[in-house]
Amino acid sequence: MAEKKDFMSELARQVDAKKRGEVEKINSVDDYVPKKRRVIREENQEPAEPIHPAAPEKTPVPEVPAEPVKPQPAPEPEEVPETPKAKPVFIMPVKKEEPADEADDDDLYDDDDDYDGPESFAEEKLVRVDKPRRQLKPAGIALLAVLGAALAFGIWWIFFAPHIPMPDFVGQPVSTVSTWAKQNQMESGVVAMAPAEYSMEYDKDIVIRQSVAPGRKVKTNTPITITVSNGPDPDEEIEFPNIYFMTQQEIQDWKNENKLLKFKLTTQYSSTVPSGEVISYEVKNGSEDMFTRGTTLNVICSKGPAPASQVTVDDFRGKTYAEVETWARNKKVLLEKRETNSATVAAGNVISTDRQAGTTMTEGDVLIVIVSKGKGVTLPNFVGYTAEQMQAWQAGKGNNVTIIYTEKYDWALEGTIIGQDIPPGSLVDEGAVVMLTRSLYMPLMETHSREWLGQDYLQLKKWVDDVNGKDRSVNIQAGEYIGGAECSNEFPTPGQIIEYACFYGTSDLADGCGRPLNAYSRIGYKISTGACGVAPPPAPQKKDVVISTGDIASLSTIQSFCNSNGMNCSYTPSDSGPDVTITVNGAPHSTGESFTEMIKEGDTIAVTYNKTPATPASTSTSTPTATTDGGN
C-alpha cells in the first residue's frame, strides 16, 4: 500500500522551486508521485538537487489517529517584472538505484494505478515540460536600457557627432588655419576671415581671435570666423629719442618696444667711433618732431676698427716719396719720413726703408722711409768775407744755398761778414737758408764841424732814431745834456741848435763829436730861445715848393732846383747806386722814380749822388760844393 502523500509539504517545495525557476506541473494531490529526477539548468547553471530524493527507509510505528491538518496559507509571491518567456526545461528521469530488497520496491510503487511512468528505465522517454514565463528583475531592465542607449549613442557618434578638435590658432600665422582646414577637409566657405585689426601684441598676419573655442569638436561644415592682426598702427606718433647718445642695443630695444615698421640698422667699421655707438642716422618721409611708427629710420652703428690685414712691403729704393705716399694710403699704412743727404740719390727720392722689400707688416703700422735731400752743401767760415768774396762763393758750382743778410754796427769795414747762424763746416741741404751778418761800420754823425749848428734839434733826434733802428745795440742818445736853452742872435729862431758835443758812456767831457761815434754815445745840444735884446723880426712866410721826378733826373737838375728855391741841400758822393737820391719829408726818392712831394722854401734836402752817373749831367759838370745853403 502506498504511503500517504504530504500535499502541503510538496506545495511549499513547489513554491520554493518556482522562485528558483524550477517548476513541475502537478494536476492534483493524487497525481503526485515522488520520482527520482534531475533538473538540467539552462546555460551554465549547476545541476539542481534532485526534486525527489530517495526517501530513507522508515521504521514501522504504531498507528495513531491523525489529527486533521489545517491548511496553511501559502506565502504571497513577490512581484517580479515581466520577463521574456523562459525556454522549456527538459527533465531527465533519473535511473533509480537497485534496491537491496525487492520488497522495498513494492512498498514504493505498490499502487500501479497511481504511477504513470514506465515500468523500467528501458521504456523511459523525454517529456517536455513548459515552464512559466520568466519576469525580468530591475537590474535586467537597467541593463537593457544601458544597451539601448549605447546603441543610440554609437549611431549618433558614427553618423552625426562632430569629431574634429578645434586648435588654438591665437598667436599662430594665418597660414596654419588654411593648412588645418585642408587637412580636415573642411567645406568651402565655412572658415571666414574677419576684417584685420591693428594690434600691438601680435604682428601682421597673426591670428588674434577665433569664434570657436580651442578644444571644442567641430564638423566639416561648422562655421568658423578668424580675426587676423594687421600689425601695429603705422600712424601712431612715437617720441623720438637722442639717437647719438644711445648704444646699438638700446636702439634695438627702443625699436622692438615701439614696433617700428620701417627701421633699418646697419653696422660698419670705424676707427673713430667706438663699437656699438652711432656713426650717423637718417629720417625719411617724416621728421623727428612728427615721428610715427611708419616713418623710415636708417641707423648706422660702428663695429669698431676693421681687423688689420697683412701688407707686403714693396721695393721703394730710388722711387719718389710721393709714390710711397700713394702706396701707403691704399694699403692703410702709416709713414714716418726721415731726410738725409746723399751724393748718389737725387733729392726727394727714397734711399731706404726700415723694413726690407718682400716682408709683411700689419695695416696701421708705421713704415720709416729715408729720403734723400741731395748731396748737400758744406758751409765755409764766412766771417771776414767781403762783399766781393761772397759773390764769388755763391757763383761756385754746388753752392746752391739761399743767403739772407742782416746788418749791424761794427768796427769792421762796411759790408764785411761779421757772423753766420750755421757753424762753419756744416753740411746743409741744397736750397737751405743761411743767415749772415754784415758790418755797417760805426755811425757817422757829421761831415764837417758845424754840420748841426743852426739845425732844428728834432732833425738831430730823427737821425739818432734812424741809427738805432738799424742796430739797437749801438744805443746812441741825444738830449739837452750841456745846459738849458738860451737866446742867440746868431741863431735867432727858437729850436735851433746853437751848441752840441758828444760824450762816450757816462763821461761828461765835451770833446765834440768825432767820426765815427762809439756805441752808447750821447749827443748833447743847446737850443736857441730866440734873439737876444731886441725882439727878432718876424720870420718871412715861406712859400710852398713842389719837387717831383724831373727835379732829380741828374745832379745838375737837383742843384738847379736847390739854388732856385733857396733850399738847404747837402751833397754826399757815392761809388754806386742811382744817379741821384734825395730825402725829403723823411722819405727817400731816386732818379727814375715817379713821385711828387710838397715842401717849404728853405727846407733841408739830403742829396746822395753817384760819382759816375749813368745819365750825363745836362747843364753842369762841375763838382758841387760840400754845402749849398741856397745863397744864405
Confidence band for 207, pLDDT divided at 50, 70 and 90? very high
Residue 20, pLDDT > 90, answer no
Of 527, 553, 584, the one marking the end of a domain is 527
Separation CA 396–CA 375 (nearest Å)? 15
Domain boundary residue among 327, 345, 372? Answer: 372
Looking at the fold, whether 503 and 384 belong to one and the same domain comes out as: no
pLDDT higher than threshold 80 for residue 3: no
The CATH number given to whatever domain includes residue 408 is 3.30.10.20
Whether the pLDDT of residue 622 is over 50: the answer is no
pLDDT for the residue numbered 160: 66
CA 407 to chain centroid, in Å, comes to: 63
101 shares a domain with 195: no
Whether 85 is covered by a domain: the verdict is yes
The answer as to whether 450 is a domain residue is no
Contact 420, 434 (CB under 8 A): yes
Least confident of 28-37, 508-517, 623-632: 623-632
In-domain check, residue 445: no
Are 275 and 348 in the same domain? Answer: no
- Co-location of 37 and 145 in the same domain: yes
Say how far residue 594 (Cα) sits from the centre of its chain.
69
Q: Domain span at residue 624?
A: 544-628
Question: What per-residue confidence (pLDDT) applies to 447?
Answer: 63
Q: Is residue 532 part of a domain?
A: no
Of 306-320, 322-336, 367-381, 530-544, give the lowest mean pLDDT range: 530-544
Residues 346 and 372 sit within 8 Å (Cβ to Cβ) = yes
pTM of the model: 0.33
Residue 343 lies inside a defined structural domain of this protein: yes
* Same-domain pairing of 147 and 181: no
Q: Are residues 91 and 9 in the same domain?
A: yes
Do 137 and 77 share a domain, yes or no?
A: yes
What is the C-alpha separation between 475 and 620, in angstroms, rounded?
42
Out of 115-129, 205-219, 261-275, least confident range: 115-129
Same domain, yes or no: 145 and 88: yes
Q: Is residue 622 part of a domain?
A: yes
CB 495 within 8 A of CB 458: yes
**144 & 216 share domain:** no
Residue 121 covered by a domain: yes
CA distance 331 to 302: 21
Q: Give the whole-angstrom CA distance, residue 175 versus residue 181.
A: 10
260 — pLDDT class (breaks 50, 70, 90): very high
Domain count, the chain: 7
Residues 487 and 621 in one domain: no
| CA atoms of 618 and 630, how far apart (whole Å) | 21
Does 45 fall in a domain?
yes
Please list, residue by residue across 138-154, b when 16 or more beta carbons sit within 10 angstroms of its beta carbon and e when fewer do: eeeeeeeeeeeeeeeee
Are both 271 and 293 inside the same structural domain? yes
